[in-house]
Structure 1
Amino acid sequence: MKNIMENKDGKLYNTMGSVVAEGFTCKPKHFDANKPIMHLKTQLFVCTDERCGKAHKDKDIAATLREAIKEVNLSKGEDRIKVVRTGCFGACRFRSVANIYENTKINGNPGNNGVWLKNVHRYDKDKWKRLFIALKDNVSIDSLDEFEQVPMSDPSFYK
């Protein structure tokens, strides 16, 4: 994996400088609760549960997305985008979904925080890259027609 570096002592280290646990690609061997979480501007949660996971043409969609993020130079630094695999979001009717979380305390776009994308299994790598660049540039996803969103109801509908 590209996010791993091998040191001269023969051990694998992750990008935070921790020795990687055997059988993993980035999990630290020793847990350190005092070590800070690596900065991120945007976090993308992608459903990889049973139904959504089957919709993806790619068996490991998260690895493919991480690769695309590296290709547009957003895997580190102040505009870093992190991909997280999730279990079921309960939005199966929209086939494969993803949720955007923006780090609004630092440099994220509040308007993109909590945006739900549907049918992401149809995205090719270039479309993902366009999304990542838009997120980096703080472009409102609402203004981009190519990224179809899950409709969210008004809570008063259920009263």
Structure 2
Amino acid sequence: MSEDVDHFPVKPTIGNYKRHLLVCTGPRCTLEGESQTLFDSLGEKFKAAGLDKGALRVKRTRVACFAACKGGPILCVQPDGVWYYNVTSENLERIVQQHLVEGMPVEDLVFHQQITD
């Protein structure tokens, strides 16, 4: 029995990254699509802050629902386990600079933080 490599999926690859930003773009988080607009702006924001490559690279992903539908837009920074609410364009600038570049969560926007031992 011979193996036919054409039937096996290609193994994906992902470049190294320091943090992964998950953005809820579901309809219950923001009724007017604000979350999608914020997500769409991240590429340029990451590039301007030097987060698009190198040791501080941040990966971004849209998610359909976090089941935390109040106070949106909502985003989560992993592996830090920091959850943000009320992520307006201005607040996103603060999160990018203070948390993603400087490594310090923006405490007044945090509504949950993973417990670490």
Q: How far apart are the structure 2 equivalents of 1:138 and 1:40?
A: 14
Partner of 1:32: 10
Match of 2:20, SS? Answer: strand
Change (3 A) 1:123 1:60: closer
- Trace 1:96-135 onto structure 2 (pairs within 5 A): 96-102=73-79, 113-120=80-87, 122-124=88-90, 127-134=91-98, 135=100
Three-state SS of the structure 2 residue aligned to 1:52 is coil
State the SS of the aligned residue for 1:36: coil
Separation (CA, whole Å) in 2 of partners of 1:39 and 1:89: 25
TM-score norm. by structure 1 comes to 0.56
Give distance in 2, aligned partners of 1:42 and 1:48: 19
Answer 1 or 2: which has greater strand percent: 2
Taking the aligned partners of 1:58 and 1:91, their CA distance within structure 2 comes to: 14
- In structure 1, give the amino acid aligned to 2:44: E
Residue 56 of structure 1: CA displacement?
Answer: 4.5
Kept in 1, the 8 Å contact 2:17–2:59? The answer is yes
- 1:106-130 Cα offsets, whole Å, 9 max, x none, are xxxxxxx11110111x233xx4233
Q: Which residue of 2 aligns with 1:61?
A: 38
Q: Could you say which structure has the greater relative contact order, defined with CA pairs below 8 angstroms and 6 or more residues apart?
A: 2
Summarize the Cα distance change of 1:151–1:78 in structure 2 as closer, same or farther, 3 Å threshold: closer
CA contact (8 A) 1:41 1:81 kept: yes
Q: C-alpha displacement at 1:94, in angstroms? A: 2.3
C-alpha contact 2:85 2:109 (8 A) present in aligned 1: yes
Q: CA RMSD in A?
A: 2.5
* Secondary structure in 1 matching 2:81: coil
Contact kept, 8 Å, 1:68 with 1:128, in 2: the verdict is: no
1:34-59 CA distances to partner (integer Å, 9 max, x unpaired)?
Answer: x5311111111010011224254475
Preserved contact between residue 49 and residue 87 of structure 1 (Cα < 8 Å):
yes
Q: Which runs of 5+ in 2 are unaligned?
A: 1-8
- 1:45-90 Cα deviation digits (max 9, x unpaired): 0100112242544753322112111111210111001211101111
Q: Residue 6 of structure 2 aligns with which residue?
A: none
Indicate the residue corresponding to 1:5 in structure 2: none
TM-score (norm 2): 0.73
